[in-house]
A = this chain, B = another copy of it.
């Protein structure tokens, strides 16, 4: 048997045919064109599902479920998006829309929760019960797994771990607060700090590594490259960044004490270069210097985590 996982993002709709082990057998992607009505977007998703089933010589009854991950709050079993403001998909019954075209069970889940579920079921935290998946991206996203299940909070909105204030009266955040963790430890924050450091240190190797040698074009990957080339400015920026990441992670460990924290997002491709210094700084902040028990690892599934988690969602309702 198979499932279909859909990652409905602000830019693209990615869809995958997934087997029981969480392997993606076939994949499609189209632009979301999010300015469109819900009807049009959801019809596109249904058509993509039909296409991927037919192209793989399958029948509807061989597909267990369609799982859809969205950047917002949902009622998973009911197949409803409560709010996904960035996509103008508030209060939408996705299940009814999709089932106009295709007769398969439909589940809808927050995308960070899908990614977390995938890492726990078939990724870096396989078999772990209490896990936080932290996505270091444009902002900081979080998926919390408790006792092997997605934890959604009382009103479907838990996991906004990027919006914990770590610096009173610090940088203003898009959420309205000041000093949120994502203003210090997201990829966006890292880029901001690298640009600022490069302006103060124009000899940094970071500049030469960027497109057209313009610091405005710097990427997180290039900051790591510069550090590995021995550039001191990049090393300082990253050292500070690792401490910022560690500050928020230690907060989460003190509050929830998961067995495992998975770091995702593009930056997690740096693997141990990212996780080792962060582990060191978290250990330094452990209560009374006690040994850090929570494992800190990079994600294993990369950008596919959303599709895989969405596809495997139905297994959590059996």
The residue that A154 contacts in the complex, of B142, B158, B257, with Cβ under 8 A, is B257
- Chain B residue with the shortest CB-CB distance to A251: B164
Interface membership of A255, Cβ < 8 A: yes
- In the complex, which of the residues A155, A157, A247, A254 has the most CB atoms of chain B within 10 Å of its own CB atom? A254
User: In residues 255-286 of chain A, which contact B (Cβ within 8 Å)?
Assistant: 255-260, 284-286
Interface membership of A166, Cβ < 8 A: yes
Q: Would A176 and B255 be within 8 Å (CB), given that A168-B247, A293-B154 are in contact?
A: no
Cβ distance A163 to chain B, nearest Cβ, rounded Å: 4
Contact across chains for A258 and B153 when beta carbons are under 8 A apart:
yes
Q: How many residues of A contact B (CB 8 A)?
A: 45
Interface membership of A199, Cβ < 8 A: no
The residue that A254 contacts in the complex, of B163, B289, B293, with Cβ under 8 A, is B163
Cβ distance A311 to chain B, nearest Cβ, rounded Å: 25
Q: Is the interface of A mostly helix, strand, loop or mixed?
A: loop
User: In residues 118-164 of chain A, which contact B (Cβ within 8 Å)?
Assistant: 129-130, 142, 144, 146, 151-155, 157-161, 163-164
A residues with a Cβ closer than 8 A to B are 129-130, 142, 144, 146, 151-155, 157-161, 163-168, 170, 175-177, 179, 247, 250-252, 254-260, 284-289, 293-294
**Cross-chain pairs A/B with CB under 8 angstroms, 21 sampled:** A130-B154, A142-B255, A146-B146, A152-B257, A153-B256, A154-B258, A155-B294, A158-B255, A158-B256, A160-B257, A160-B287, A161-B255, A163-B251, A165-B166, A165-B251, A168-B247, A176-B285, A176-B287, A176-B288, A176-B289, A256-B256
